[in-house]
Amino acid sequence: MSFPTPVPVDALLAIFRWVLETDDVSPSTNFFEAGGDSLLATRVLSLVARDHGVELGFDEFVCHADPAALAGLVGRLLSGEPAGSPS
């Protein structure tokens, strides 16, 4: 039995704000509704890989496209759990 490794939402908030070039991002802000596109999404995935050591696919990001959901997904993957659906 493993416990999810917590990944602070703040870390994902900082990545969203950097890539979207706005401070107007909350834990529930949907990346694509806030002006993100597929090109910018690849930059989020690159920074997640750099900072957290997890390589996500584009499809996974689309299903976890806000900071809170993405933090949850990264935490579950770091704990070795299957990605599953957004919590």
Partner 1 sequence: MSPVVSPADSPAVGRPPRTVVVGAGLAGLTAAAELAAGGSEVVVLEARDRVGGRLLGVEVAPGEWVDAGAAYLGDKHTELLDLMTRLGLKPAPMEMVGDSRFVLAPAGSEAATRAGRFPPLSAVALGDLFEQLDALTRQIDPIAPWRTPDAARLDRLTAARWAEEQLPREDARLFFPLFLG
In the numeric block, the tokens 């990944």 are attached to 7
- Positions in 20-39 near partner 1 (CB under 8 A): 38-39
Q: Which of 30, 44, 74, 53 is nearest to 84 (CA)?
A: 74
Torsion 61-55-6-79 (CA) sign: positive
Q: Establish if 66 lies at the interface with partner 1 (CB under 8 A).
A: no
Q: Least distance to partner 1 from the beta carbon of 60, Å?
A: 6
Q: Establish if 60 lies at the interface with partner 1 (CB under 8 A).
A: yes
Nearer to partner 1, 50 or 85 (CB): 50
Q: Least distance to partner 1 from the beta carbon of 21, Å?
A: 9
Q: Establish if 45 lies at the interface with partner 1 (CB under 8 A).
A: yes
Residues of this chain that interact with partner 1 (CB under 8 A) are 38-47, 49-50, 55-61
